[in-house]
Amino acid sequence: MNSSSSAVVGVLFGITDLELDILDTFEDVEYERTTVDVSLMDGSHKLRAHTYVWGNQNDPNLFGEWDFEQWKRAHMNDFLKMTTGFMEELELPESKPRVATYESFFQHDDNNSPMP
CB hemisphere CA count around 13 (13 angstroms): 6
Contact by Cβ (8 Å): 3, 36: yes
Question: What does the alpha-carbon distance between residue 5 and residue 65 come to, in Å, rounded to a whole number?
Answer: 18
Sign of CA dihedral 31, 11, 46, 49: negative
Q: Tell me, yes or no, if the pTM score tops 0.75.
A: no
Contacts of 90 (CB under 8 A, 6+ apart): 22, 25
- pLDDT per position as a tens digit, 35-52: 988 888 887 888 899 999
First to last CA, the chain: 23
Active site residues: 27
**pLDDT band with cut points at 50, 70 and 90 for residue 68:** confident
Strand spans (E) along 1-116: 31-39, 46-54
**pLDDT band with cut points at 50, 70 and 90 for residue 1:** very low
Q: Where are the domains of the chain?
A: 10-64, 65-116
